[in-house]
Chains A and B, each alone.
Chain A
Amino acid sequence: MRKLPQDSAHVIAGEYVLGTLRGPARRRFEAMMRADAALTTIVRQWESGLMPLADRVPAVEPPARVWRAIEARIDPYRGAAPATAADSSPSPGKWSGLWSSLAFWRTFGLTAGGRASVLLAGFLYLSTGPRGEPVFVAVLTDPTAPATAPPHLVISMHSPDLLRVRMVRPWANVDTKSLELWVLPTKGQPRSLGTFTNAPGDTMIKITATDPRVQGAYALAVSLEPKGGSPTGQPTGPVVASGSIAPVRRS
């Protein structure tokens, strides 16, 4: 793909963000952007530069049916429309497919009522260890696999201060990436518990029930990240396994 001279790149990116770049030219530019990270950066700069204009637009309340329609499209229990119908963003690859698949999300267990129990993709429960300390076990599976397929991960408290992440069945085709384990607290951003490799065996994570990262936890998720873990400290890749959990108690 040819490179644009600097000023032209800035003007065309500006017109793209402004919206005066239209039709086939707009499509061509989007293709160039996907192939050229520098161009994407210029577009992001224009977005940051121009979007504050939108603050000036007086708000207009959309009808309630819009949210119902959105919910229906991301929740297979409420509607049949495919979730990806409107996705124009490029998202090739198996995991992106999984990321946006309805079957995957409905198993997350974060939906209302008793739905979570219908498809048990992963579960985690608390019990009490020999000395009364909390013990939890999570079984994380790939929800697109048949119900009889063995789980990918079994996570348990190995001892009061060691969490054992046992890879039972590695994922295919993720050799060059890291898997990262996240805690979803009821308040605040996801918290990383660390990364582990996509190979059979155990990874030990030093953690106690009083660790701030697990306070208020209500779900666990595993995302696919660049080698070494998320560069941003927040999940950037697709979630390949997840499960809701009971709160981790203080011992």
Chain B
Amino acid sequence: MANPEASPARLAELLSRTALGDRKAFAELYESTRSKLFAVSLRIVREPQLAEEVLQDSFVSIWNHASGYAQAKSAPATWMTAIVRNRSLDIVRRTRELADVDDVLAGNLVDEGAAPPAEYQASVDAHQLHECLKELEAEQRQSIALAFFHGLTHSELAAHMRRPLGTVKTHIRRGLLRLRDCLDRTQGAEGGR
């Protein structure tokens, strides 16, 4: 990344200041998060031009609604990533082939041997999530990862995984419930939630 990863505390501070119209803070917020958020959108919308549009819309929205962050009670990166993913899912008009789906990324989710990207820093939350993903069946995990990273719909997942639509829907549903139970268990143990 061209810019150093800002700490969650720093991002929260920048968001608070953005809420009061501080343009310098807003610029730093953009600097600190743009390349990650652009990458997240790019995987879903596929076309750089669309991802640029998403990033632009998302940051205008962040500027206008930064005060909403305080009410969301989430980590700043979570709040911003959700905005970018929602916007990406809203504007994606998919007529494309699914050949370029990154199965490696989806497949390596819980593979401890796989080298994470250089800038990847395992946060506690990420660690818990990966531990919980391990508890899922392989196809449940794969469906969830493909949907998350690439924004695939149920039918796209079915086509990509060569499984009946109903099977894929069941994978997602059961996978999500198991994931929730696991996250509740691990986070509950720390007094979170």
Contacts from A to B (Cβ < 8 Å): 7, 10-11, 14-15, 17-20, 22, 26, 44-63, 65-67, 69-70, 73-75, 83-89, 91, 99-100, 105, 108, 110-111, 182, 184, 188-190, 219, 221, 223, 230, 232, 234-239, 242
Interface SS, A side: mixed
Q: Across the interface, do A63 and B52 meet the contact criterion of CB distance under 8 Å? A: yes
Contacts of B138 in A (CB 8 A): none
Given contacts A19-B148, A99-B67, contact A44 B60 (CB under 8 A): no
- Chain B residue nearest to A233 (CB atoms) is B70
With A49-B179, A66-B56: A59-B129 Cβ-Cβ less than 8 Å: no
Query: Which of A45, A86, A105, A234 contacts B57 (CB under 8 A)?
Result: A86
**Majority secondary structure, B binding face:** helix
Is A242 a contact partner of B21 (Cβ separation < 8 A)?
yes
- Complex Cα distance, B34 from A186, in Å, reads 23
Q: How far is the CA of A127 from the CA of B36 in the complex (A)?
A: 47
- Determine whether the beta carbon of B172 is less than 8 Å from that of A53: no
What residues on B are CB-neighbors of A11 within 8 Å?
173, 176-177
Q: Give bound CA distance, A53 to B65, whole Å.
A: 24
Which residues on the B side are within 8 Å of A66 (C-beta)? 34, 38, 52, 55-56
Given the complex of chains A and B, what is the CA–CA distance between A44 and B35 in angstroms?
23
B residues within 8 A CB of A239? 19-21
**A236 and B70 in contact (CB under 8 A), knowing A57-B149, A59-B39?**
yes
Given contacts A59-B36, A99-B64, A236-B67, 20 further A-B contacts (CB under 8 A): A11-B173, A15-B173, A20-B172, A44-B73, A45-B193, A50-B148, A52-B126, A52-B129, A54-B40, A55-B120, A57-B117, A61-B1, A66-B55, A86-B58, A88-B86, A89-B65, A188-B13, A189-B12, A230-B70, A235-B70
**Would you call A87 and B61 a contact (CB within 8 A)?**
yes
10 contacts between A and B (CB under 8 A): A18-B176, A20-B172, A51-B81, A54-B77, A57-B43, A67-B34, A74-B23, A88-B90, A232-B70, A234-B19
A74 partner residues in chain B, CB cutoff 8 A: 23, 26, 60, 63-64
